[in-house]
């Protein structure tokens, strides 16, 4: 399980860097929005998966489920904090690019399962 999680995270980080590079070539000003969108998805995902890897050996299903719920709540709090910080600054964000980066990373987890299963 640990190798699969790490493969998914690496795939998502690579996809985020590709999105940043393409956005930077297309419009250098939008690159900051792209980076913020990717970071708003990647940092909480990394937090969640690192916490879940610590609880991987727990045999008690009820304790593990409680740990998973707390980790998921922490993930959403981090995501909300990143967006709150981003939108309370005076930076001229490109919301389409920002949310496209966020959605790209979020949905890549679904695609990553098929890519990893094929290996």
Q: What would you report as the CA-atom Rg of the chain, rounded to the nearest whole angstrom?
A: 16
DSSP 8-state code for residue 89: S
On the question of pLDDT at 118 being above 80, the answer is no
High-pLDDT (> 90) share of the chain, %: 42
Give CA–CA dist 67/54, Å, rounded.
Answer: 10
Model pLDDT, residue 119: 55
Domain spans of the chain, in order of start? 2-118
Residue whose structure tokens are 């939108």: 87
Query: Mapped to the 3 state alphabet, what secondary structure does 101-118 carry?
Result: HHHHHHHHHHHHHHHHHH
- pLDDT 10s digits, 49-68: 887 777 666 677 787 778 77
């Amino acid at each position: 399980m640990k190798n699969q999680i790490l493969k998914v995270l690496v795939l998502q980080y690579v996809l985020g860097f590709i999105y940043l590079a393409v956005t930077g070539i297309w419009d250098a000003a939008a690159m900051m929005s792209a980076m913020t969108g990717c970071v708003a998805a990647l940092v909480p995902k990394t937090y969640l998966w690192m916490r879940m890897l610590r609880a991987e050996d727990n045999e008690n299903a009820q304790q593990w489920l409680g740990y998973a719920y707390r980790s998921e709540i922490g993930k959403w709090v981090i995501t909300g904090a990143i967006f709150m910080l981003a939108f309370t600054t005076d930076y001229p964000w490109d919301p389409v690019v920002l949310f496209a980066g966020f959605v790209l990373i979020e949905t890549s987890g679904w695609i990553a399962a098929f890519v990893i299963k094929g290996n």
